[in-house]
Amino acid sequence: MSTTAPPQVLPQANDACWCGSGRKYKRCHKPLEGRVVQGEISPYRPVPTHIERPSYADTGQIIRWSEQRVKTPEIIERMRHAGTLAAEILRLAGEMVRPGITTDEIDAFVHQITIDAGAYPSPLNYGGYRKSVCTSVNEVICHGIPDSRALVEGDIINLDVTCYIGGVHGDTNATFCVGEVDPVSRKLIEVTEECMWKGIEAVRPGQPVSDIGKAIESHAKPHRYGVVKAFIGHGIGEQFHTDIQILHYYDPRANTIMRPGMTFTIEPMITLGTWQHKMWDDDWTAVTADGKRTAQFEHTILVTDDGYDVLTGGEGAVSPTAPWNH
Ligand code: MF3
Ligand code: CO
Ligand code: CO
């Protein structure tokens, strides 16, 4: 109901919820057994003034303008630079993942290394988002906000890194294990990364973008995994999100034809149970409706004359199953 923080002393299960909804605490804000509980969010981390800022950085308002879908070679080279940096930051952030570290500490690290590289951390103040990276733990599908919660052995965590440099964004994410993780979650992570690659391998000029979702969905299906529908891949370039939509499931209406020079992300979110989501009161954190775990991987892709190029790939990228690691 309300968006205020819970009080220090929590009600008993059958008492009225602290939020004022009039419902019993146990039917309202009482955390369910084994679910992620939100911690404290630390103050805004400033970005030095010498770093070029995207349009929303000061106001938090996302203003969209029309941006060419097919990029010039010059923009593509800038995007490759932003993408390579995002991939490197993601890899380094992934190395921080261990039991006991808080997601806020990961945020502080990502924020600092992004700035040190001369880039702006794209999530910061994007539509009012308050942190420099998204940290999504266990049943959190995406857009988890870094906070004081310490990672626990057995957790899984997605880190979604985007940076803005040279006037363009590079966007990439991966899911990591916290210490020893159960085989069911490990399999989910493995298949989710495969789903992303199946989607990427479907990128071909002249074909509709629905081929991407078709490939992802067909790979998830035999495992009886869910494919999240509410969050999709997106065009990217001078803006974090442009009008191109990349569904991760099959819909024949996704009939945009891929053209050489187009740039977009492919970022499937795959679940152990339902594909449906619920939102936390913070209006950012999306969780699976059944509380089961979910994983995600993301790359920024360029359509080439005969297929695709991964702008967030290369030597420094984190993907163990990526083609360049074969
Ligand atoms: N990086 C996310 C994506 O893949 C977007 C995060 S928006 C934020 O599209 F505001 F939460 F940062
Ligand atoms: Co994205
Ligand atoms: Co992202």
Asked whether 280 lines ligand 1 (CB < 6 A), one says: no
Distance CA 101, CA 98 (A): 6
Residue from 45, 90, 111, 160 whose mutation best tests the ligand 1 pocket (most atoms within 8 A of CB): 160
- Split at pLDDT 50, 70, 90, the class of 325 is low
pLDDT of residue 320: 56
The percentage of residues in the chain with a pLDDT greater than 90, rounded to a whole number, is: 92
Beta bridge partners of 294: 271
- Flag whether pLDDT at 2 surpasses 60: no
**What ligand is nearest to the CA atom of residue 126?**
1
Average confidence score pLDDT of the chain: 95
- Flag whether pLDDT at 105 surpasses 80: yes
pLDDT of residue 318: 75
- Flag whether pLDDT at 101 surpasses 60: yes
Asked whether 126 lines ligand 1 (CB < 6 A), one says: yes
pTM: 0.95
Average pLDDT over residues 191-207: 97
Asked whether 88 lines ligand 1 (CB < 6 A), one says: no
| Å from CA of 61 to ligand 1 middle | 14
309 by Cβ neighbours in 10 Å (0-12 / 13-18 / 19+) ranks as: middle
- Split at pLDDT 50, 70, 90, the class of 322 is low
Contact 171, 298 (CB under 8 A): yes
Asked whether 127 lines ligand 1 (CB < 6 A), one says: yes
pLDDT of residue 324: 60
**Structure confidence by residue, pLDDT tens digits, 20-67:** 999 999 999 998 889 999 999 999 999 999 999 999 999 999 999 999
**Structure confidence by residue, pLDDT tens digits, 106-156:** 999 999 999 999 999 999 999 999 999 999 999 999 999 999 999 999 999
Q: In what order do the strands lie in the sheet with 242-246?
A: 242-246, 233-235, 263-266, 299-303, 308-310
Residue from 64, 110, 162 whose mutation best tests the ligand 1 pocket (most atoms within 8 A of CB): 162
Distance CA 94, CA 88 (A): 10
Q: How many CB atoms lie within 10 A of CB 320?
A: 9
Domains of the chain plus CATH, in order, are 67-325 (3.90.230.10)
- Split at pLDDT 50, 70, 90, the class of 314 is confident
| Å from CA of 205 to ligand 3 middle | 23
**Structure confidence by residue, pLDDT tens digits, 218-232:** 999 999 999 999 999
